[in-house]
Amino acid sequence: MIKASSAEIRRILENINRFNSTPEEGEGTTRVLFTEPELESRKYIKSEMEAVGLKVTEDSVGNIFGTLEGSDPTLSPVWTGSHIDTVLNAGMFDGMAGIVCGIEALKMISRSGITPKRSISVIVYTSEEPTRFGLSCLGSRTMAGALTPEDMKRLTDKDGKTLYGVLTELGYDVSALPDVVRREGDVFASLELHIEQNRHLDDAKIPVGIVRGICAPTNYEVVIKGVQGHAGGMAMEDRHDAFMACCRFALELEKLAKSSQGEYVTATIGRVRVYPGAVNVIPGYVGFSVDIRSIDMESKEIIMAQLEKVKAAVEEEYGVSVEMRLDNHDIPLKCSETVLNVVRDVCKDTETESMELISGPYHDSLFVGRFAPAAMIFVPSKNGISHSKDEWTDFEDLATGTQVLAESLC
């Protein structure tokens, strides 16, 4: 197998990074699903796929496939890939690394004169980030049958546009959405490369992580209704302050996550809206998001049950109402031992130092793993930073990961 080119990986990553709706200094990269930069980046990636001889196709939810055809078209294919959409003010690696390294891996395989028996596709999954529609992994979720056309008609962005409507406007054939769904046996195996987004590899100075499992999110939208009032006029004991109630709820949630017996549990309140939002007004209404993750369903369910008690206690203490709407409750993935063993063997054979990890962040593989044996390879994130303009991965580390990816895919 020829060597992965860190220069090529860098070139394509830097080119993708130019498709950015926040290009101002210090603002990082923002590429939200089906905005102009995201649509332009799709065209660019298709051109890079074609340049290395991949056959490009796209399904009805916008998942893009770049396929290196195998010698036996009757066999189920092998998949790799990730996403090109970002959170707001992100870096240039989360998601994109998996696509660029996937293209490089397929180029290495074909330029080494290897014709794999099975076709291998590098996939750009539509909108792994929930940035536009508030729900993650739209493309891979649809493939897993967990996002139906009916769901897409209900899913709206901040302007009230539905995913179904946007797909239709862009000319996707929504009547073919049922064909996006994959069943067991349709895909032989899947291996996604991603940056770690945590500090284990960087701390240990190990270039490759072998991912045993992927945590899954549970998301609530919470609304606390209190009583709006005058910040100077109302005594502390007379208040029903929705924001103070929210703070108590948040601190209790933090305690629940920190004291959980689960192997890996996180809880985050990442978006809070305080109304009416003025310095001299006691907030009457607060809306906020809750994101709870774990590698096992049971730990999440224990926290969910305890949160019901927190809700009741906060209502009682502050004289407010707390409404919790469960929007999403995804199932964590245990990665396929068969695929993991392939990666373990490649690391051994190529004398690449590796380390076994679980992923706190979710990935498209969480959903691909519902219908195919799936696993992931991680490469180091500097200081574990991600979802930030300061996200960084060395191109040499990406090349090392690509080498392991390429050897594992064929």
Site track for Mn ion across 230-269, x = CB under 5 A: ----------------------------------------
Q: Quick one: which of 48, 85, 94, 104 contacts Mn ion (CB under 5 A)?
A: 94
For strands 281-282 and 229-230, give the pairing: antiparallel
Q: Of 127 and 336, which CB lies nearer to ligand GLV in the complex structure?
A: 127
Phi, psi dihedrals of residue 90, rounded to the nearest 5°: -95, -170
Q: Compute the least distance from the CB of residue 376 to ligand GLV, in Å.
A: 12
Instruction: Give me 256's structure tokens.
Output: 């629940």
Q: Of 11 and 389, which CB lies nearer to ligand GLV in the complex structure?
A: 389
Select the binding partner of residue 241 from ligand GLV, Mn ion, none (C-beta < 5 to 8 A, by kind).
none
Select the binding partner of residue 364 from Mn ion, ligand GLV, none (C-beta < 5 to 8 A, by kind).
none
Q: Is 362 in the site for ligand GLV (CB under 6 A)?
A: yes
Select the binding partner of residue 362 from Mn ion, ligand GLV, none (C-beta < 5 to 8 A, by kind).
ligand GLV
Q: Of 362 and 371, which CB lies nearer to ligand GLV in the complex structure?
A: 362
Q: Quick one: which of 116, 361, 373, 380 contacts ligand GLV (CB under 6 A)?
A: 361
Residue 333 half-sphere exposure toward CB, CA atoms < 13 A: 25
Cα–Cα distance measured from residue 362 to residue 213, given in angstroms and rounded to the nearest whole number: 10
Kindly give the residue spans of alpha helices, DSSP state H, lying in 63-193.
96-111, 138-143, 149-154, 163-169
Q: Of 38 and 129, which CB lies nearer to ligand GLV in the complex structure?
A: 129
Q: Compute the least distance from the CB of residue 42 to ligand GLV, in Å.
A: 19
3-state secondary structure 223-240: EEECCCEECCCCCHHHCC
Q: Compute the least distance from the CB of residue 83 to Mn ion, in Å.
A: 6
Q: Compute the least distance from the CB of residue 129 to ligand GLV, in Å.
A: 5
Beta strands in 189-305 (DSSP E): 189-195, 208-214, 216-225, 229-230, 265-268, 272-275, 281-282, 285-294
Select the binding partner of residue 401 from ligand GLV, Mn ion, none (C-beta < 5 to 8 A, by kind).
none
Q: Of 29 and 110, which CB lies nearer to ligand GLV in the complex structure?
A: 29
Query: Are the beta carbons of 215 and 293 closer than 8 angstroms?
Result: yes
Radius of gyration of the chain (CA): 23
Q: Compute the least distance from the CB of residue 136 to ligand GLV, in Å.
A: 6
Tell me how far apart the 2 most distant CA atoms of the chain are, in Å. Answer: 79
Cα–Cα distance measured from residue 100 to residue 7, given in angstroms and rounded to the nearest whole number: 12
Q: Of 5 and 388, which CB lies nearer to Mn ion in the complex structure?
A: 388
- Which of these ranges, 45-53, 66-74, 91-99, 257-265, lies near Mn ion under the rule CB under 5 A? 91-99
Phi, psi dihedrals of residue 203, rounded to the nearest 5°: -60, -40
Phi, psi dihedrals of residue 134, rounded to the nearest 5°: 75, 0
- The residue whose two tokens read 């969480």 is 366
Q: Of 212 and 248, which CB lies nearer to Mn ion in the complex structure?
A: 212
Which residues, 105 to 144, sit near ligand GLV by CB under 6 A?
129
CB under 8 Å to 148, separation ≥6 — which residues?
A: 177
Q: Of 29 and 218, which CB lies nearer to Mn ion in the complex structure?
A: 29
Handedness of CA 6, 8, 10, 13 (dihedral sign): negative
Q: Compute the least distance from the CB of residue 378 to ligand GLV, in Å.
A: 13
Q: Compute the least distance from the CB of residue 21 to ligand GLV, in Å.
A: 18
- The residue whose two tokens read 């949160």 is 307
Cα–Cα distance measured from residue 61 to residue 147, given in angstroms and rounded to the nearest whole number: 11
- Which of these ranges, 4-12, 88-96, 136-144, 163-171, lies near Mn ion under the rule CB under 5 A? 88-96
- The strand pairing partners of 357, in sequence order, are 211
Q: Is 98 in the site for ligand GLV (CB under 6 A)?
A: no
Peptide bond into 276 cis (omega under 30): yes
Which residues, 329 to 388, sit near Mn ion by CB under 5 A?
none
| Closest residue by beta carbon to ligand GLV | 361
Q: Quick one: which of 95, 130, 226, 284 contacts Mn ion (CB under 5 A)?
A: 95
Judged by the rule CB under 6 A, the positions of this chain that interact with ligand GLV are 129, 361-362
Binding site for Mn ion (CB under 5 A): 94-95
